[in-house]
Chains A and B, each alone.
Chain A
Amino acid sequence: MYMEAKNVKFTYMVGSPFEKTALQNINLTLEPNSYTVLIGHTGSGKSTLIQLFNGLLKPTDGSIQIGNREIKRDTKQKHLYDVRKDVGMVFQYPEHQLFHETILKDVAFGPMNFGMSQEEAEKRAKESLKLVGIEEGLYERSPFDLSGGQMRRVAIAGVLASNPKTLILDEPTAGLDPQGKEDIMELFYKWYEVSEERSIILVTHHMEDAAKYGDQLIVLEQGGIHLTGTPKEVFLQGDRLRKTGLSQPETVRLLESLKDKSKGHIDTLKFHLNETVDEIVSFLRKDQ
């Protein structure tokens, strides 16, 4: 789904002594079927921006376009509700939102809120649960009986079940072990690939994931856009990234350091382990 931010500004607690501007001069377009990655430190405005993109917040100034709807500061609450139907959000530690007595009911909560019949919602819920790898035998169990990793999967299914066109992921792998992290990231990619209607906005601290999955990267710094472009364009600018305390993926850092030390011809913009190793091998085997 096409999304755009036009001259967006966002200020918390307008008119109080605690007023604080979180975002300013934000201009962005997110093409349909894109995988966008937002990077930036805590407090850079990332979480405000994603909340604007699914109608949890309204801009103080400027406008947000989501599909063919526009959100401005005076947009009615009811229209925001419609936006949330199309834009799903997986918050950090999403397992904290589970509440229903059974897993199936919990997952069906979203679709039913968005007006599906119970039968249809449960059908959707089952599909989503299957996608995230929760076995059928567990559907009637309480979500609180599950392990931490399984709870997270159920919570994710609860968002996918509403069949959003755009999925916003706010550090969805925080606190998981390495295998769990990889599995979850792959799961989202699989969901994304299924249809050309689907887009993802990922917020992450992991440059490796940003490089691996993103086709557009947006680096936020103190409420403004610091850098934007494809992973290759962004990660070429190591110095500008480091200035904000961020870094390149470890593959790029290794290759850059090797290039600096050896003064050899090396293409440093490799994001996958195998590519990186191939680049090293070809460097090692090349004649001087």
Chain B
Amino acid sequence: MLDHIIIGQYVPGHSKVHRLDPRAKLICLMLFMVFLFVSRHPLSIGVALLIAVLAFGLANVPLTFYLRGMRFIAIIIIFTFLLHLFMTKEGPVLFTTPIVTIYLGGVLEGVLVGVRLLLLVIMASLLTLTTTPVDLTDGMESLMLPLKKVGMPTHELAFMISIALRFIPTLLEEAMKIIKAQMARGANFTQGSIWKRVKAFVPVLVPLFVQSLNRAEDLAIAMESRGYEGGEGRTKFRILYWKRMDTIALVILTLYSMTAIFTRFLM
């Protein structure tokens, strides 16, 4: 189940999309998402499709990998499509059955919402597929910087995410180890009622929690001894470079946004 969800996985590579500044990718994605939901006109939906195809083509992520990850999403998309198909009662009637009546408006609405969702998922997963978690965090911190003026702890937030990223694999390993140790002591996670199975995880969660607390304490000492005193007066080892490609990407997305606004409100 888990290996079929591709959002959040990173596929190493050196494609044009990989090399985009994470800030550019984040802003582009945001613009894309916002204006995708403004788009209704075939022209602007067409442009969105084009952008998605372009980005996908440039990213060089193996198609098979992508398709495998889409299986789960596909179910949701089909479900949404059907929902709109049956629930929208607009436009001329296409045909009638004793149970439901299908309107043209329903078909259009269903397709529209389905395509939007599909594009959304493609682009969102493209971001994580082509950006290392570290870059993503850096990008987010940098974009949140203006919020610091209004008292938002941007450094702390970003630092928290980065520590979480560092420790997720360690914790997973740890959890696996404890699960096995308890299984060796006869714990059974796969049989019995739901309640029983949930309860079976107590012997895993307690040690995991205790261990994490110990880890956190060790980590705090290690950080303190290496001079960590919060964001003030800190310099940065990694910096982000804004390149021509990033400007181009941003321009494309701005053009798309304008198309979306124009077709929706001015035509």
A residues contacting B by CB (< 8 A) are: 16, 51, 54, 56, 77-78, 81, 84-85, 88-89, 91, 94, 96-100, 109-110, 112-114, 144, 158-159, 162
Contacts and interface: CB of A to CB of B under 8 A. Distances in A.
Given A51-B180, A91-B180, A91-B181, A113 B188 contact: yes
Given A16-B3, A99-B202, A99-B206, A113 B187 contact: yes
B3 A89 contact: no
Given A98-B207, A99-B207, A81 B188 contact: yes
Contacts of A113: 185-188
Contacts of A77: 190
B101 interface: no
Contacts of A81: 186, 188
Contacts of A96: 174, 177-178, 181, 207, 211
Interface string B237-256: 00000000000000000000
Nearest to A87: B184
Contacts of B187: 109, 113
Given A89-B181, A91-B177, A91-B180, A97 B186 contact: no
Contacts of A56: 180, 183-184
21 contacts: A54-B184, A56-B180, A56-B183, A56-B184, A77-B190, A84-B185, A84-B186, A89-B181, A89-B184, A91-B181, A96-B178, A96-B211, A97-B178, A98-B207, A109-B185, A109-B186, A109-B203, A110-B186, A113-B186, A113-B187, A113-B188
- Dominant SS among interface residues on chain A: helix
B162 interface: no
A212 B260 CA distance: 78
Contact of B185 (A16, A78, A144, A162): A162
A91 B176 CA distance: 12
A77 B163 CA distance: 37
Contact of B186 (A51, A100, A114): A114
B185 A110 contact: yes
Interface string B189-220: 01100000000001110110011000000000
B132 interface: no
Nearest to A109: B185
- Dominant SS among interface residues on chain B: helix
A101 B210 CA distance: 13
Interface centre among A54, A96, A110 (most CB of B within 10 A): A96
A40 to B, nearest CB: 19
B204 to A, nearest CB: 8
Contacts of A158: 185
Given A16-B3, A96-B207, A109-B203, A85 B186 contact: yes
Interface string B70-102: 000000000000000000000000000000000
Interface of B: 3, 174, 177-178, 180-188, 190-191, 202-204, 206-207, 210-211
A41 B49 CA distance: 52
A113 B182 CA distance: 10
Closest 8 pairs (CB-CB, A-B): A113-B186, A99-B206, A110-B185, A89-B184, A97-B181, A99-B203, A114-B186, A91-B181
B191 to A, nearest CB: 8
B184 A88 contact: yes
A77 B174 CA distance: 23
A230 B202 CA distance: 43
Contacts of B191: 78
Contacts of B184: 54, 56, 84, 88-89, 91, 159
Contact of B183 (A84, A94, A100, A159): A84
B254 to A, nearest CB: 37
B1 to A, nearest CB: 13
Interface centre among A56, A78, A94, A99 (most CB of B within 10 A): A99
Contact of B207 (A16, A78, A97, A110): A97
Nearest to B206: A99
Interface centre among B180, B182, B211 (most CB of A within 10 A): B180
A45 B191 CA distance: 30
Given A96-B207, A99-B203, A99-B210, 6 more contacts: A56-B184, A84-B184, A84-B186, A109-B185, A110-B186, A158-B185
B170 to A, nearest CB: 13
B103 to A, nearest CB: 45
Contacts of A54: 184
